[in-house]
């Protein structure tokens, strides 16, 4: 990619599945200060044609034409199946193109390291799309814990579940499917940024009731993480239960409960309880994807290192792999020491109004509900 001086970063959205159509593409309208989508990449000609027309995008490329696309853009938003994140990140980095990659970062820690190394060697920015690092309610929970409102934080628990459609990519092992990869990373990441610490060892139990559509992956997984400072986090993820997405962190003086916690299609809310007194805050639906674009584009234009970084994504994938290993062996698995470079702060809080759900082209949500 040729060097250019501009106040706007030109993006290609790679992969036109549900998340790209329902959230990423509409977000550019709220991020137009410094971000513009100029190209789409997909092997589905109907999607390319319809979405190019809808968003007035001139660049439409197949996956075989990805390298040609990279010559026309400054950054890519990778919204592909998990198993393809590493390949398309490395190819972008070698072309000198910055990368904003959906979570999980990849399927293995080795893939994550290849992505980080490729971006470092080629001098491009890499950020993992943890949208909640910019979201008001979750950042408020971080701030309440950091300021000691609940005393010393002691334990975290979370539930995240949905009923996944048959043949959804999340059910395909070869595509990086599984509850921990898809929704477990939210629980892991939330525990890490609320405790401001890293787990030392993990344990997990995975179960499958025999549901045919989930035969390749875990139907549900229960996880236990032991953190520095003798704190614990527990969570359950499931692809065969009613929708739930909440967490609670409990301290010596009180607790913070966030419910819903991980959604992007609705408003979020928290409750703070201290000495028996509860205060609540709820916000309406916000665009959680435009803040990522605005922040990442500023990092590119102002030559700043983004957070959540590749190292952040690597750590979560390392923990996911350790949990699956524990579930397979029935033993606790140690986590190597990890020094986090940056942590989410209120300074990253960026708000944009919610977007209306667009008409979708040949995709449907992962959940049956």
Strand order in the sheet with 9-14: 59-61, 35-41, 9-14, 75-78, 98-101, 126-128
Cβ proximity of 232 and 222 under 8 Å: no
Helix (H) / strand (E) element for 113: namely: helix 109-121
Our answer to whether residue 103 is catalytic in this structure is yes
List 11, 77, 88, 186, catalytic entry: 186
CA distance 246 to 255: 13
**11, 61, 88, 103: which is the annotated catalytic residue?**
103
Q: CA 318, CA 340: separation in Å to the nearest integer?
A: 14
Report which of 209, 260, 198 is spatially closest to residue 239, judged by C-alpha positions: 209
**Catalytic residue at 186?**
yes
CA distance 159 to 126: 29
- In sequence order, what are the residues at sequence separation of 6 or more whose Cβ sits closer than 8 angstroms to the Cβ of residue 342? 305, 307, 309
What is the three-class DSSP state of 107? Answer: coil
Spatial distance between the Cα atoms of 247 and 240, rounded to a whole number of angstroms: 19
Quick check: helix, strand or coil at residue 369? coil
Residues 321-324: contacts with CB within 8 Å, 24+ apart?
321/108, 321/109, 322/202, 323/180, 323/184, 323/202, 323/203, 323/204, 323/221, 323/223, 324/178, 324/180, 324/204, 324/206, 324/218
For tokens 């405790």, name the residue: 195
Whether the Cβ atoms of residue 200 and residue 227 lie closer than 8 Å to each other: yes
Separation between Cα atoms, residue 71 and residue 177, nearest integer Å:
31
Compute the distance between CA of residue 4 and CA of residue 33 in angstroms, rounded to an integer: 17
Pairwise CA distance, residues 138 & 129, whole Å:
15
Q: Helix/strand/coil (H, E, C) string of 169-233?
A: HHHCHHHCCCHHHHHHHHHHHHHHHHHCCCEEEEEEEEECCCCHHHCCCCCEEEEEEEECCCEEE
Lookup: tokens for 24: 């990423």
* Active site residue ranges: 103, 186
């Amino acid at each position: 990619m040729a060097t250019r001086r501009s106040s706007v970063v030109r993006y290609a959205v790679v992969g036109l599945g549900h998340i790209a159509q329902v959230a990423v593409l509409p977000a550019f309208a709220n991020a137009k200060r410094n971000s513009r989508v100029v190209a789409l990449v997909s092997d589905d000609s109907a999607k390319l044609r319809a979405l190019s027309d809808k968003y007035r995008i001139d660049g439409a490329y197949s996956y075989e034409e990805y390298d040609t696309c990279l010559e026309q853009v400054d950054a890519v938003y990778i919204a592909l199946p998990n198993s393809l994140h590493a390949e398309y990140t490395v190819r972008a980095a070698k072309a000198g193109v910055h990368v904003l990659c959906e979570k999980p970062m990849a399927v293995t820690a080795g893939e994550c390291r290849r992505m980080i190394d490729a971006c470092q060697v080629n001098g491009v920015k890499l950020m993992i799309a943890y949208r909640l690092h910019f979201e008001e309610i979750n950042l408020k929970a971080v701030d309440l814990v950091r300021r000691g409102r609940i005393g010393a934080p002691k334990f975290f628990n979370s539930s995240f579940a949905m009923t996944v459609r048959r043949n959804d990519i999340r059910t395909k092992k070869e595509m990086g499917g599984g509850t921990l990869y898809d929704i477990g990373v939210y629980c892991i990441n939330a525990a890490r940024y609320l405790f401001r610490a890293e787990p030392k060892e993990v344990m997990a139990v995975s179960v499958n009731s025999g549901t045919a559509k989930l035969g390749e992956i875990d139907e549900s997984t229960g996880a236990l993480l032991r953190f520095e400072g003798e704190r614990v986090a527990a969570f359950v993820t499931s692809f065969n239960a009613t929708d739930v997405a909440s967490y609670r962190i409990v301290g010596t003086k009180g607790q913070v409960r966030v419910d819903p916690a991980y959604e992007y299609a609705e408003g979020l809310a928290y409750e703070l309880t201290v000495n028996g007194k509860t205060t609540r805050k709820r916000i309406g639906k916000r665009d959680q994807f435009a803040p990522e674009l605005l922040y990442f584009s500023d990092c590119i234009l102002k030559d700043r290192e983004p957070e959540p970084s590749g190292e952040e994504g690597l750590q979560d994938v390392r923990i996911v792999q350790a949990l699956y290993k524990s579930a397979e062996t029935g033993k606790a698995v140690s986590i190597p020491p990890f020094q986090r470079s940056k942590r989410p702060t209120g300074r990253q809080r960026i708000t944009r109004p919610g977007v209306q759900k667009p008409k979708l082209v040949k995709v449907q949500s992962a959940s049956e509900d």
